[in-house]
Amino acid sequence: MPKPLNSPAAERNRQPILQVLQALLPATGSALEVASGTGQHAAWFAAALPGWTWQPSDAQAEHLDSITAWCADAGVHNVRPPVLLDVLAPQWPSSGAAFATPFDLVYCANMLHIAPWACCAGLMQGAARHLAPGGHLVTYGPYLENDVPTAPGNRDFDASLHERNPDWGIRHLHDVAQVAAQAGLRLAARHALPANNLLLVWAHAPQP
């Protein structure tokens, strides 16, 4: 099996994120992880949440082997084989049969700022389609906020993202919330985590 990829950031943030998930989630459920990347989060969360079935996914085929390797190394048996998933595709996953049952959790970390802005709408619309009633979308990463000073590190990071790709950049929470509302989701909770990142919990908006 190929050697798994390693993300130092995922290694640092996996435990703070897990602590919020443990407080938010019931003992059992099913989760879809969008943009699983290296697979470090999938392996860590599945091991700590044994009552949950975890479905990892990524838009880059080369990441799927890394996800599988991390989960194999962790010895977890509650993780399904990773699938290709492009949030902009009309069907999730992007190939094969569509997901047959809804998920209690859709989880997506560190994607919105390293993807074109259209991917925010793709994520929100896809999550709204695939969330079970009472389920949550959880997003994690850096955000810009009204009346909250932007940390110097995030300002520098945002500038570096724009230099790498003009379509990338730290997103403004107000803009993300507007796109979420168009998909029928509302911001239910905001958690400040280390390194100037936020974990945001989104839920189905009440019917008018």
Question: Is the per-residue pLDDT at 3 higher than 80?
Answer: no
Q: Is the per-residue pLDDT at 108 higher than 80? A: yes
What DSSP assignment string belongs to 125-178? HHHHHHEEEEEEEEEEE-EEBTTBPPPHHHHHHHHHHHHH-TT--PEEHHHHHH
Fold annotation for 8-204: Rossmann fold (3.40.50)
Residue 13 has pLDDT above 80, yes or no: yes
pLDDT digits (tens, 9 = 90+) for 50-60: 999 999 999 99
Q: Which two three-digit tokens encode residue 65?
A: 């082997």
Name, in order, each residue with C-beta under 8 angstroms of 192's C-beta and a sequence gap of 6 or more: 198
The predicted structure's pLDDT at residue 206? 80
Rg (CA), the chain: 16
Which residues 6+ apart lie within 8 Å of 89 measured at CB?
A: 122
pLDDT value, residue 176? 98
Question: What is the reported pLDDT for 11?
Answer: 94
The pLDDT of residue 2 = 67
Beta strands at 83-84 and 185-193: parallel, antiparallel or unpaired: unpaired
pLDDT bin (cut points 50, 70, 90) of residue 207 is low
pLDDT tops 90 at residue 142: yes
Percentage of the chain with pLDDT > 70?
98
Rounded Cα distance, 83 and 96, in Å: 9
In the chain, domain spans:
8-204
Does the pLDDT value for residue 1 go beyond 80?
no
Is the pLDDT assigned to residue 208 strictly greater than 70? no
Q: Is the pTM of this model over 0.95?
A: yes
The pLDDT of 48-72, averaged and rounded, is 97
Q: What is the pLDDT of residues 170-183, one digit of tens each?
A: 999 999 999 999 99
How many C-beta atoms surround the C-beta of residue 119 within 10 A?
Answer: 21
Summary mean pLDDT of the chain: 96
